[in-house]
């Protein structure tokens, strides 16, 4: 089955800095890579996703990159703000096939004002 590794487990940055979270996956059949943000005491919610036919996707201050050859993908947050503080999960799965995503262990991002 799929195995997703996520690093780092904790990331502390100053407001305005950039943050990068990296994930690797094992199953070459995976073609959908979502990122979820979980604020304290809340449910995880999708913030951005990327499919295997795309190398990079941006949405305002967040971007995701995918390297299918190396089987890794990353989340980039620029100009971090205190409200970006949360736990971020990456996931990988085969969209349209075996739907159930495999999640990484999460990264706790702390943005200091």
Q: Rule CB under 8 A: which residues touch other proteins?
A: 6, 9, 32, 34, 36, 42-46, 49, 89, 91, 93, 95-96, 99-106
Residue 82, Cβ neighbours under 10 Å: how many? Answer: 10
**Closer of 78 and 103 to other proteins (Cβ):** 103
Closest among 48, 24, 30 to 98, alpha carbons compared? 30
Cα–Cα distance for residue pair 68/31, rounded to 1 Å: 9
**Closer of 80 and 93 to other proteins (Cβ):** 93
Spacing of C-alpha 42 from chain mean position? 17
Cα–Cα distance for residue pair 60/82, rounded to 1 Å: 16
CB of 103 to other proteins, least distance (A): 4
**Closer of 51 and 81 to other proteins (Cβ):** 51
CB of 79 to other proteins, least distance (A): 26
Closest among 68, 37, 71, 41 to 55, alpha carbons compared? 68
CB of 23 to other proteins, least distance (A): 11
**Closer of 88 and 111 to other proteins (Cβ):** 88
User: What single DSSP character describes residue 87?
Assistant: E
CB of 90 to other proteins, least distance (A): 10
């Amino acid at each position: 089955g799929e195995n997703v590794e996520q690093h780092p487990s904790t990331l502390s940055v100053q407001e305005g800095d950039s943050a990068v979270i990296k994930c690797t996956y094992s199953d070459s059949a995976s073609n959908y890579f979502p990122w979820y943000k979980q604020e304290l005491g809340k449910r995880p919610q999708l913030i951005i996703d990327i499919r295997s036919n795309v190398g990079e996707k941006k949405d305002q201050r967040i971007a995701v990159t995918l390297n299918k050859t190396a089987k890794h993908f990353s989340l980039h947050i620029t100009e971090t703000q205190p409200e970006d503080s949360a736990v971020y999960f990456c996931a990988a799965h085969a969209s349209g096939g075996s739907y159930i995503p495999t999640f990484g262990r999460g990264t706790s991002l702390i943005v200091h004002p």
